[in-house]
Structure 1
Amino acid sequence: MKPDPDICHSARLARDKRFDGRFYTAVKTTGIFCRPICPARPPLERNVEYFGTAAEAAAAGYRPCLRCRPDAAPGSPAWGLVSTTVQRALNLMRREREAQSIEQLAERLGITSRYLRKLFAEHIGLSPLQVWQTERALFAFSLLRDTNLPIGDIAYAAGFNSLRRFNGVFKDIYQRTPSEVRRENSTADAKSGNSSVAPVQITLSYRPPFDWPALLEFFAARALPGVEQVVAGENPQQGMYQRSFELLGQRGVLRVAHEPEKGRLRVSVYGEGCGAVLYPLREKLRRLFDLDADSEAIRSHLQPDPLLQNVLQRNPGVRLPGAWDPFEYTLRAILGQQISVAAATTIAGRVASRYGESFAGPGGESLLLFPTAEQLRGADFSDIGVTRTRANTLRHFVAATLNGEIDFDAPDLDSFCAQMTALPGIGDWTAHYTAMRGLSMPDAFPASDLGILIALGDEQQKATPKQALARAESWRPWRAYAALLLWQSLKLHSPKGGKK
């Protein structure tokens, strides 16, 4: 999708933050491409061309601006509008540390490599390899500038197993070597380190508005002791989120703080060897906090509904709270069927403490890792406080995950919900709620949720699921965001609240 030149022209002259990451301005006379918020003097219109993504600009021969740093821009919502298959391919590419061949990627998607190349050429204008190399070079640049990790570690973190190949790709894009960039950054030694004690710090940008307090409040009510923690700050914007994790064999702890004046989150990652998993970790966090959401498009689409309008005005920047791991969250959603948030969180905490592994955090505190499907193989769940029927559902879900019946990379909402509801004890509410939060599917809608039915009802009675679905038709493809707004509306207008 080519950006509209008239819109781009106005946005770059105004340095409008709402367009940061939506397009890039390439200057023909300098060979450099910039974000629309670049503080440099704006070039003449006849000397520029516009690109929808940094990868496209780099592939056209332009090098990234060292002043506005395209590596720090928010993710492009435009790529969320490409074909489902291309979006799935991009997600798979970003989830792994190393590059996958076009044949491997196509096989995982169930299509031919020739067709995948055609889709990328049609929807993005680049090959999968070009996208991968540019994204990884931009990520490496941010580590070179913002940390003092050794260059070899940065190359590995960016997905390159060969330092020579890393240097070659990086120089093609930046017109300078990684060593030259590191030498230019004289303050690197004062920044995050690479020891097992000092954290490695990365930043995650977003486009405002961004309702950080609402996200923290949501996560705080569901935080698992030993696994997650939300720490309140002096004001709502200063709270912090912490989580233990194991990713690609590396264990650690991450802490996320908000820097609203800079439009970004600052992530501190503790753990020896965790530099190697920074790229997939970053992608998980972008989904967890829904950083690439197009808030303006969502607001414009939902605001005409009078029920949602008031909540949007009071709480701009709605984001869909995601999940660190789809399996973990699906299991938690099953536990949460027909009980309160507090009760579901308590039972999930028992699963973590009885089946998960403990390890020492950066301050010596004891932390927990939520158990994987493999670790829960054979668990009967009879000792966590659930009914016999619910325990049976949990066992079936774990088995279905292990044998591949549940595909967390399902191509669409209907396919995933069909897989889930085929299991005993799982209905539409669980399937849609899992798709909404565990898989970050924006059009998922748990129509039978009590809170939604209360919010859509009147003083005499709540709505029916059929009425909720009919009302939600006009909210597509953002029904999941509408569900969040409905839950928030209960706090504004009624002492009653929904279960989720």
Structure 2
Amino acid sequence: MHTDTEACYRAVKSRDRRFDGVFVTAVHTTGIYCRPSCPARTPGFANVSFFPTSAAAQAAGFRACKRCLPDATPGSPEWDLRADVAGRAMRLTADGVVDREGVPGLAARLGYSPRQLGRILTAELGAGPLALARARRAQIARVLIETTDLGLADVAFAAGFASVRQFNDTVREVYAASPSELRGRRRHGVGAAGEIRLRLAVRTPFAGRALLAFLATRAVAGIETAGPDWYARTLSLPHGPGTVHLVLADAPEPGQVVQVPATFHLTDVRDVSAAVERVRRLLDADCDPVAVDDALSADPALAPLVRSVPGLRVPGHVDGLELAVRAVLGQQVTVGAARALASRLVADRGALLPPALAQDGLTHLFPAAEAIAETPMTGMPASRARTITGLAAAIGNGEVALDRSADRDGVRRALLALPGIGPWTAGYIAMRALADPDVFLPTDAGVKAALTSMSRSPERPTDPDSWSPWRSYALMHLWGSLGGPALGPATGPAEKKEMI
């Protein structure tokens, strides 16, 4: 959108919060960049430029506005919708891949040389991979400075900086304040020792209760637990295990940004960036719910469902392997049976959490691919056990990548090539593990039942293809219509390849 300067300027003049995170406004007369909804006086059209990312504005010499904090916004929904190289690079950069593996590592994951990748990202995003990672580090550093009691040296390394000097220089350049000055402006309470309490920005409307119901219904003992207004789970992170505790509530007012309280316990503070990004995926935090709801409401038959649960999210996941294995476990069985099978797998093969992290009923990590691939599971058809073993082996050896770095169509083809994986399972994995917003599962029993019920109403549903590119969200509404969003897909169909 940033190339349509007239549309951007209209959003800035109206202080439209829907565009926060979609682009930033750089003001030439002040040298700062702001979010579109910044409450400051609107600058003249001739004095502004628009950039797709904070990194692009920083590379052009602008610093972040201290009043509106343009980096404290949800990310652009474009990165979930786009499956091209730029979108995949943004998702991996947010996960901290550049900090851990450098630009060569990021380029290798995407199948490009570092130079090619730099050219692509500069052309698409206005900044190369190093600048994008630098902006992400600055954002994480500011949040940690203002919301935790970590020492500033610890903050520097937790945010991904290579040295304290680099951390100090970047924070001063981006925020026009030293780290000590930012800490003096902290706005939130500080957690107890070992806690990192953050607030994760999401756009409204936000159906937090529906998301909680979906996750709680599927919570696997040992790795997940939930209460009346909260959900907690374990996290397998690059430098060690961790946990997160989320407080989820509804925020029905459209066009705003709300904060989801999140409390992290991490073995290594260097995992802050990865932990935050993976939990944001779980929340579908970068979704533009107004755009989704408006598009789906255009179908008169679907509109009542959308109105009844505004801001419904597609629950993502923190671990592609876990989601894929659980999808296969859920074939042809109830949600409760799938939970029982997954709980047994966790108890038998999952690693125990360190005692300092074992709380809220969380005791284990989900098993690693190698642990699952070693021995077939029992208590299920032999063909399904072989499917799980083969799937875990394929993910473990890199044959199938579920870390959002791979091309979605390529992942689907790789999954379908595995015995026991059919279109339903591959589609469900793509929807939740790869954040594909346009998945439709016509063979799903719940979808068939919902469409049959809708066909009896005066307003018959149109062709599901008309719901594109938001068919994943339509699926959530269809499943919810059967008895509330907590139900979701009760069972997956038998995959024909399962019998091979």
TM-score w.r.t. the length of structure 1 is 0.88
CA distance in 2, matches of 1:77, 1:100: 26
For 1:454, what is the secondary structure of its paired residue?
Answer: helix
Contact (CA 8 Å) 1:99, 1:132: kept in 2 or not?
Answer: no
Quickly say closer, same or farther: Cα 1:40–1:458, change in 2 above 3 A: closer
Residue number in structure 2 paired with 1:440: 435
CA distance in 2, matches of 1:64, 1:127: 19
The AA in structure 2 aligned to 1:250 is G
Q: CA deviation at 1:287?
A: 0.7
The one-character-per-residue Cα deviations of 1:321-377 (angstroms, maximum 9, x if unpaired) are 011100001000000001111111111111111111233346585612111112224
Contact (CA 8 Å) 1:326, 1:438: kept in 2 or not?
Answer: yes
The one-character-per-residue Cα deviations of 1:269-298 (angstroms, maximum 9, x if unpaired) are 124x44221101110011111000122222
The AA in structure 2 aligned to 1:161 is A
Residue number in structure 1 paired with 2:214: 218
Contact (CA 8 Å) 2:2, 2:8: kept in 1 or not?
Answer: no
Residue number in structure 1 paired with 2:265: 270
The one-character-per-residue Cα deviations of 1:70-115 (angstroms, maximum 9, x if unpaired) are 2311112244465611111222222236154433322221123332
Residue number in structure 2 paired with 1:174: 175
Residue number in structure 2 paired with 1:431: 426
Unaligned runs of 5+ in 1: 233-238, 462-467
Residue number in structure 2 paired with 1:164: 165
Residue number in structure 1 paired with 2:20: 20
For 1:457, what is the secondary structure of its paired residue?
Answer: helix
Contact (CA 8 Å) 1:454, 1:498: kept in 2 or not?
Answer: no
Residue number in structure 2 paired with 1:112: 113
Q: Does residue 406 of structure 2 align to residue 407 of structure 1?
A: no
Counterpart mapping for 1:59-458 below 5 A: 59-80=59-80, 84-96=84-96, 98=99, 100-182=101-183, 184-185=184-185, 190-193=189-192, 195-196=193-194, 199-232=195-228, 239-258=229-248, 260=251, 263-271=258-266, 273-359=267-353, 360=355, 361=357, 363=359, 367-382=363-378, 385-408=379-402, 409=404, 411-457=406-452
The one-character-per-residue Cα deviations of 1:40-93 (angstroms, maximum 9, x if unpaired) are 344444443333322222222111112221231111224446561111122222
CA distance in 2, matches of 1:353, 1:204: 31
Q: CA deviation at 1:224?
A: 0.7
CA distance in 2, matches of 1:386, 1:363: 31
Contact (CA 8 Å) 1:444, 1:480: kept in 2 or not?
Answer: yes
Residue number in structure 2 paired with 1:483: 475
Contact (CA 8 Å) 1:200, 1:268: kept in 2 or not?
Answer: yes
The one-character-per-residue Cα deviations of 1:187-236 (angstroms, maximum 9, x if unpaired) are 67x5235x33xx2111110111111111111101100112111211xxxx
Q: Give every structure 1 segment of 4 or more consecutive aligned residues whose post-TM-superposition deviation is greater than 6 Å.
A: none
CA distance in 1, matches of 2:381, 2:170: 56
CA distance in 2, matches of 1:497, 1:160: 43
Contact (CA 8 Å) 1:449, 1:498: kept in 2 or not?
Answer: no
CA distance in 1, matches of 2:43, 2:308: 38
CA distance in 2, matches of 1:363, 1:318: 29
Contact (CA 8 Å) 2:239, 2:271: kept in 1 or not?
Answer: no
Contact (CA 8 Å) 2:25, 2:51: kept in 1 or not?
Answer: yes
Quickly say closer, same or farther: Cα 1:63–1:265, change in 2 above 3 A: same
CA distance in 2, matches of 1:437, 1:102: 27
CA distance in 1, matches of 2:3, 2:417: 43
Higher relative contact order at CA 8 Å, sep ≥6: structure 1 or structure 2?
Answer: 2
The AA in structure 1 aligned to 2:163 is S
The AA in structure 1 aligned to 2:262 is V
CA distance in 2, matches of 1:274, 1:130: 24
Contact (CA 8 Å) 2:314, 2:473: kept in 1 or not?
Answer: yes
Moved more, 359-368 or 112-121: 359-368
Quickly say closer, same or farther: Cα 1:166–1:496, change in 2 above 3 A: closer
Contact (CA 8 Å) 2:331, 2:491: kept in 1 or not?
Answer: no
Contact (CA 8 Å) 2:80, 2:435: kept in 1 or not?
Answer: no
CA distance in 2, matches of 1:223, 1:231: 11
**Pairwise CA RMSD of aligned residues?**
2.7
For 1:71, what is the secondary structure of its paired residue?
Answer: coil
For 2:463, what is the secondary structure of its paired residue?
Answer: helix
Contact (CA 8 Å) 1:302, 1:475: kept in 2 or not?
Answer: yes
Q: CA deviation at 1:242?
A: 0.6
CA distance in 2, matches of 1:119, 1:227: 39
The AA in structure 1 aligned to 2:481 is S
What is the percentage of aligned positions where both structures have the same residue? Answer: 37
The AA in structure 2 aligned to 1:483 is L
Q: CA deviation at 1:12?
A: 3.2
CA distance in 2, matches of 1:496, 1:295: 19
Q: CA deviation at 1:484?
A: 0.9
Unaligned runs of 5+ in 2: 493-500
For 2:236, what is the secondary structure of its paired residue?
Answer: strand
Moved more, 78-87 or 386-395: 78-87
CA distance in 2, matches of 1:392, 1:8: 53
Q: Does residue 469 of structure 2 align to residue 474 of structure 1?
A: no
Residue number in structure 2 paired with 1:56: 56
The AA in structure 2 aligned to 1:278 is V
CA distance in 2, matches of 1:87, 1:230: 32
The AA in structure 2 aligned to 1:219 is L
How many residues are paired up? 478
CA distance in 2, matches of 1:478, 1:364: 35
Quickly say closer, same or farther: Cα 1:11–1:357, change in 2 above 3 A: same
CA distance in 2, matches of 1:433, 1:451: 13
Quickly say closer, same or farther: Cα 1:160–1:337, change in 2 above 3 A: same
CA distance in 1, matches of 2:186, 2:80: 37
Quickly say closer, same or farther: Cα 1:186–1:170, change in 2 above 3 A: closer
CA distance in 1, matches of 2:264, 2:380: 35
Q: CA deviation at 1:459?
A: 8.5
Residue number in structure 2 paired with 1:236: none
The AA in structure 2 aligned to 1:20 is D
Q: CA deviation at 1:449?
A: 0.6
Contact (CA 8 Å) 2:145, 2:182: kept in 1 or not?
Answer: yes
CA distance in 2, matches of 1:405, 1:396: 11
Residue number in structure 2 paired with 1:464: none
